[in-house]
Copies of this chain bind each other. A is one copy, B any other.
């Protein structure tokens, strides 16, 4: 059975609930704070923010909006017609410990009519300090889920993430990438049911990957040197999101809910003019790895 928009939206809502519960386990007492919001044109969302000891600032957002598509959106999406329905879950977690990576996940569904619909989403990782074992674990997890659905998915969506999360003005990637996909509709042997099964698996994978990466790193000791570096990496994260991220730009330019969109921004970011790293430092090692086309699935195995 082809999933309806209500089925998809309800599943996303449950995914948000489940992820929030699992993330709260990382905290001794901090809980998500929820804001319900309603969109003048139709629909709304549940924005949930966690300010914890482990996760310094995290957002896990669900939304389901519908109505007439804004003029600018019709143009930029290249669609005809005016009524739309869009639902999804978006997550960005900024951890306290600089050795824990920033993670971003998004699953979304867009529909104009029974023939015009698509899924999009992805998971990507932005370590303040690149750890190739962690990056390998992360990418192999993504590959395994992709391969369950299509042998073409991982390499295609991994490259898509490399290209999407690139910061041209810094000539570096935002992190070690992951997978990114958009406009997945029915074509060739891909059905709506098949695309939906894949998107659900991506959503379910998120906690498996992040909780493991968090467990591996959140007790590592660090000094103010590593924290300062984290603030610098976070400013690159802010640059990417504000200058290049199409989702953020689209939201801010079409009157989306600003506080929900910008929950992705770090709690604190520092800009230092022309910052230089010491050669052979962990920071230099990280910069050397912020490249496209790294084969993360094997980098730590062939080492």
Contact = CB atoms under 8 A, between A and B. Distances in A.
A79 to B, nearest CB: 23
A265 B259 contact: no
A145 interface: no
Interface string A260-303: 01110111111111100000000000000000000000000000
A242 B231 CA distance: 17
Nearest to A248: B243
A169 B249 CA distance: 10
A169 B274 contact: no
A267 B271 contact: yes
B258 A265 contact: no
A49 interface: yes
A170 B262 CA distance: 11
Given A57-B273, A59-B273, A273-B49, A252 B243 contact: yes
A252 B268 CA distance: 23
B267 A270 contact: yes
Nearest to A256: B169
Most buried by B among A235, A242, A273: A273
A258 B170 contact: yes
A271 B238 CA distance: 10
22 contacts: A35-B274, A49-B273, A49-B274, A168-B252, A168-B253, A169-B252, A169-B258, A169-B261, A235-B269, A238-B238, A238-B242, A238-B269, A238-B271, A239-B242, A243-B243, A259-B274, A262-B271, A265-B271, A266-B271, A267-B270, A268-B269, A268-B271
Given A242-B242, A262-B271, 13 more contacts: A57-B273, A168-B253, A169-B252, A169-B258, A235-B269, A238-B269, A239-B262, A259-B274, A263-B273, A267-B271, A268-B271, A269-B270, A269-B271
Q: Lowest 9 A-B CB distances belong to which pairs? A: A242-B242, A265-B271, A169-B252, A169-B258, A259-B274, A49-B273, A268-B270, A242-B243, A269-B269
